[in-house]
Structure 1
Amino acid sequence: MELSAVPPVGETFGVEEEFHLVDPDTGALTPAPALAEAAVRGELGDRVHPEIATTQIETATGICRTLSDLRAELATTRGQARAAAADAGVALLPASTHPFAGSDELVMTSAPRYEAMVRRWAGLALRQDICGCHVHVGVPDLETAVAVLDRARPYLPVLLAMTGSSPFHEATDTGYESYRTLWWSRWPNTGPPEPLGSAERFREVVEGLVAAGVVADGSHLYWDLRPSSHLPTVEFRLADVCTDLDDVVLHAALARSLVRVLAGRAERDEPVAQPRPELLRAARWRAARDGIGGQLFDPVAGELLDARTAVERLVGELSDDLADRGEEDEVRHLVDRLFGRGTSATRQRAVWRETGDLRAVAAAVVREGGGA
């Protein structure tokens, strides 16, 4: 995603998605080193990029301004990635974990950036067998980005709960909708950000992490929400890969609306809720465990809520903004559809219960994502 000029808050947005690469017949995780090398050299265009392992590939949409723009861009980027993968003899598996592969099956991508990551993070990088979905929302400056970060923290668990696609890991039902969240939490540079208060304070934190050797620069700051290091955006990094394209559109629509609403509150200098970090981590854990199939924890009120109620509260807070932009009806329709069929994690478990075969789970994810 490239921005040549800085439009108003939330006017533009875009999505990056990471995918596992699998054998189209067996669903087994399959390295594609030639594909990774072509992506490193930029031979797959500006929409398809390499990832740390040759069993993964990343896509990035162009700049979008409407939900229909985003839907079309996602279809295009996924189509380009599927075509590139097919040429390499593999298929895309759009979920955050592979149902039965082990991290010992990963083969690292040969590129200076990834080699440096392995040197810095050692076994964490070598076992990076998860994929994510990232939403960039345009903001005019770093101060606005930090103001949004400080206000968005209590809302992140609800957004996470709506995207779970990683119930299985290394051939085990983990008991979580988003096991990716738990796996990712092992890194020292992940999780919900603490309140920052100003752009200056954000820079100081990044400088401290660089001095500690935890990160090389701001591009390795893997918080659930961060100011982008190379774009005038805030970047939501908390979501699992959404198998169904509708769920990507829903997640991105809510993230963008939240940025617009929270930036407005910051401009009006409205109070900022600051839940304890322990409660915020508890809310994140609950969302990763139960998704939308149970109860979610409100870290501000300190209470459990039915997941549908929590989601409706979020949509209600954003309804004026969504309505002003003609997006409310579509968002509510997508919410109804999500609750009607469940998350990708729910649907994967349904296939597992029916077949007892994790290869069938992988095949179902590939098909649902448009790969077969």
Structure 2
Amino acid sequence: MRSSPGPAPGSLDGPVVSTMGVEEEFFLVDRLTREPVARAGPVIQAAAPVLGDLVQDEFYRCMVEVCTRPSASATDLRAQLAALRATLVGAAREADCALMASGTAVVPPREPVPVTDTPRYRRMAQRFGALVDGGLSVVCGCHVHIGTADRAQALLLANHVRPWLPALQALAVNSPFSGGIDSGFASWRCLEFGRWPTAGPAPLLDTAAYEDTADALVSSGILMDRRMIYWFARPSEHHPTVEFRVADTSADLDTTVLVALLLRGLCAAVLSRAEAGRPPPAIGARQLRAAHGYAARYGSGGLALDPFTGEEVPAQALIGALVMAAAPGLTAAGDLDEVDRLLTALRQRGSGADRQRATFHRTGRLRGVVDHLTEVTARA
């Protein structure tokens, strides 16, 4: 993020409500073939006079990323996201392509998409060449930043929130297609991006352990730098935030706003308990990873693995428990009614993955799915 959310004062008697920010990655697709197209340069050039440093390139040249300013309310966050998307949609049109919000490319590129020509990305492509194919490896995520006082607080929140992230992931699944076929998963992006080192649940760490772990990952050559720490929850290296990285990019704004509000509410709810010395839930890495695997496979409409018990439960039951856990923070921020409304609407229309599949069944064409996604992305 170019501008970081910081903590905002809440009620003296209730949870402290922080500001929030969102980063969204998008595909650029050709208007004729509907496959990813390497036109990030002209799109960013067209959008930059309006967005400035809120728009930037990403690892592949068929991707663009935008980030919001720090936001204190759902209304402001939605308005910012809508304005960012509208500008990108216009810039893509000028470059003879379309903006598509999906975790994976629906129509695969016929030729590998080149890596963006920056020194860091060139080094990454050289060092991790087995992971860089310019095709199936091109994925887009949505990252939410919640403001914190310092790194110690960011790690405290990451430790306490980690068991709830599979439920958040299940809400935002939006990548069932990969390589031109149905992957059988609601979020294939999770599996594809999971091939990168450290991509997955964060370990339980305090500040000293984080510094030691981060230094060891870089000095050993496992990672090129600290920016490559891809845990699902991590302290930002540049801003006073904790960053959550579990969600696919969603075509509809409602899902993006819902995920951000739930994360902010959950952080507010657990912060006072965490700072009082209550230890984080002692959930093993294997069980937590399995819970994320269920979320990637089934999304919000099927089975889930409860990280706390290790038992199979309906995903909606786990999501309901998440809302209950976040309720004190949602109430303090005035977001509880909005979250209830957004969840009800999401249950009625289905997840992003459900809607992609429904469109394919209706049209019989992957191009129809792309057209649906670009239309919904632009509708914001």
TM-score range, shorter chain: over 0.9
Matched with 1:356 is: 364
In 1, Cα distance between equivalents of 2:374 and 2:308: 38
- How far the C-alpha of 1:2 sits from its partner, in A, is 1.3
- How far the C-alpha of 1:6 sits from its partner, in A, is 5.5
**2:9 is the alignment partner of 1:2:** no
What is the one-letter code of the residue matched to 2:325?
E
Tell me: CA distance 1:37–1:110, structure 2 relative to 1, closer, same or farther (3 Å).
farther
What is the one-letter code of the residue matched to 1:24?
R
Could you tell me the percent identity over the aligned residues?
A: 37
- How far the C-alpha of 1:35 sits from its partner, in A, is 2.2
Q: 1:134 aligns with which of 137, 140, 143?
A: 143
**2:102 is the alignment partner of 1:101:** no
Runs of 5+ unmatched residues, structure 1: none
- How far the C-alpha of 1:26 sits from its partner, in A, is 3.7
TM-score (norm: length of structure 2): 0.93
Tell me: CA distance 1:117–1:61, structure 2 relative to 1, closer, same or farther (3 Å).
same
In 1, Cα distance between equivalents of 2:111 and 2:139: 13
Q: Deviations over 1:43-94 (max 9, x none)?
A: 9612211011111110111110101110001001111211221221111110
- Computed over aligned residues only, the root mean square deviation of the Cα atoms, in angstroms, reads 2.1
In 1, Cα distance between equivalents of 2:110 and 2:352: 21
Matched with 1:92 is: 99
* SS of equivalent residue, structure 2 residue 212: helix
Q: How many residues end up aligned between the 2 structures?
A: 371
Q: Deviations over 1:189-229 (max 9, x none)?
A: 21001111x11110110000011112233211111111011
Q: 1:230 aligns with which of 226, 238, 245?
A: 238
Matched with 1:304 is: 312
Q: In the alignment, is the contact (CA less than 8 A) between 1:283 and 1:298 conserved in 2?
A: yes
In 2, Cα distance between equivalents of 1:40 and 1:168: 29
What is the one-letter code of the residue matched to 2:298?
D
What is the one-letter code of the residue matched to 1:150?
N
Matched with 1:366 is: 374
* SS of equivalent residue, structure 1 residue 99: coil
**2:178 is the alignment partner of 1:169:** yes
Q: In the alignment, is the contact (CA less than 8 A) between 1:13 and 1:65 conserved in 2?
A: yes
Q: In the alignment, is the contact (CA less than 8 A) between 1:133 and 1:241 conserved in 2?
A: yes
Q: Deviations over 1:303-349 (max 9, x none)?
A: 11112111111111111221122110000110111111111110010
Tell me: CA distance 1:329–1:276, structure 2 relative to 1, closer, same or farther (3 Å).
same
In 1, Cα distance between equivalents of 2:7 and 2:261: 19
In 2, Cα distance between equivalents of 1:318 and 1:43: 36
- How far the C-alpha of 1:105 sits from its partner, in A, is 2.9
* SS of equivalent residue, structure 2 residue 53: coil
- How far the C-alpha of 1:265 sits from its partner, in A, is 1.6
Matched with 1:154 is: 163
In 2, Cα distance between equivalents of 1:109 and 1:115: 8
- How far the C-alpha of 1:30 sits from its partner, in A, is 1.4
In 2, Cα distance between equivalents of 1:271 and 1:240: 30
**2:335 is the alignment partner of 1:327:** yes
In 2, Cα distance between equivalents of 1:96 and 1:149: 23
Tell me: CA distance 1:10–1:122, structure 2 relative to 1, closer, same or farther (3 Å).
farther
* SS of equivalent residue, structure 2 residue 105: coil
* SS of equivalent residue, structure 1 residue 222: coil
Matched with 2:347 is: 339
Q: 1:195 aligns with which of 204, 225, 228?
A: 204
In 1, Cα distance between equivalents of 2:30 and 2:110: 16
Matched with 2:12 is: none
Q: How does 1:138-287 map to 2 (within 5 A)?
A: 138-196=147-205, 198-287=206-295
- How far the C-alpha of 1:4 sits from its partner, in A, is 8.6
What is the one-letter code of the residue matched to 1:365?
L
In 1, Cα distance between equivalents of 2:177 and 2:143: 21
What is the one-letter code of the residue matched to 2:252?
D
In 1, Cα distance between equivalents of 2:216 and 2:173: 33
Runs of 5+ unmatched residues, structure 2: 10-15
Matched with 2:325 is: 317
In 2, Cα distance between equivalents of 1:4 and 1:81: 23
Q: 1:112 aligns with which of 106, 119, 135?
A: 119
Tell me: CA distance 1:96–1:305, structure 2 relative to 1, closer, same or farther (3 Å).
same
In 1, Cα distance between equivalents of 2:43 and 2:217: 30
Q: In the alignment, is the contact (CA less than 8 A) between 1:36 and 1:54 conserved in 2?
A: no
In 1, Cα distance between equivalents of 2:49 and 2:219: 32
Q: In the alignment, is the contact (CA less than 8 A) between 1:14 and 1:61 conserved in 2?
A: yes
Tell me: CA distance 1:222–1:177, structure 2 relative to 1, closer, same or farther (3 Å).
same
* SS of equivalent residue, structure 2 residue 65: strand
What is the one-letter code of the residue matched to 2:210?
F
What is the one-letter code of the residue matched to 1:181?
C
What is the one-letter code of the residue matched to 2:225?
D
